[in-house]
């Protein structure tokens, strides 16, 4: 579930700074945060500045990659998904669908393996007795 709220104050001073100035969050226009939260929740997209650190086996922040005018760039006001992010969302859906179909096929195979073959079943499924 994603909940979007607005606030009466027009801006909020975040803990982030750029060139000595605090970055202000626009609390009256939550579109950017809503789009980012939706893309993260539904497609697994993460903010651009989060990377996996193998040394500590955890997510770390690398602000070099927080670029572009999109909902995942904390330093921009843009809320349009880029073509790269759109492609990533599509790939995420394809992979998820493929994994789910593989699980369904594997569960069907498992069920078939549990069934015992009988003479009656073997005769009724032979090609000669089937009406094609």
For the beta carbon of residue 73, count every other beta carbon within 10 angstroms: 19
Question: How far is it, in rounded angstroms, from Cα 37 to Cα 74?
Answer: 13
Radius of gyration of the chain (CA): 25
H/E stretch holding 32 reads helix 31-43
Q: In this predicted model, what pLDDT tens digit does every residue of 3-56 receive, in sequence order?
A: 888 888 888 888 877 788 888 877 888 888 888 888 888 888 888 788 888 888
**pTM of the model as a whole:** 0.61
Question: How far is it, in rounded angstroms, from Cα 132 to Cα 120?
Answer: 19
Q: Number of C-alpha atoms within 13 angstroms, CB side, residue 87?
A: 3
Diameter over CA atoms, the chain: 83
Q: In this predicted model, what pLDDT tens digit does every residue of 46-103 receive, in sequence order?
A: 887 888 888 888 888 877 777 778 888 777 777 888 888 889 889 989 999 999 999 9
| Domain-wise residue ranges, the chain | 11-124
Helix, strand, or coil (residue 132) = coil
């Amino acid at each position: 579930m994603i909940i979007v709220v607005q606030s009466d104050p027009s801006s909020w001073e975040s803990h982030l700074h750029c060139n000595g100035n605090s970055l202000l969050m626009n609390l009256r226009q939550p579109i950017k945060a809503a789009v980012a939260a939706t893309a993260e929740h539904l497609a697994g997209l993460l903010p651009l500045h989060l990377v996996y650190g193998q040394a500590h086996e955890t997510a770390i922040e690398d602000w070099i990659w927080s670029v572009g005018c999109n909902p995942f760039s904390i330093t921009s006001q843009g809320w349009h998904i880029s073509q790269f992010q759109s492609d990533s969302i599509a790939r995420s859906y394809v992979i998820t669908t493929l994994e789910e179909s593989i699980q369904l096929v594997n569960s069907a195979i498992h069920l078939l393996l549990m069934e015992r073959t009988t003479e009656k079943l073997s005769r009724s499924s032979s090609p000669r007795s089937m009406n094609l």
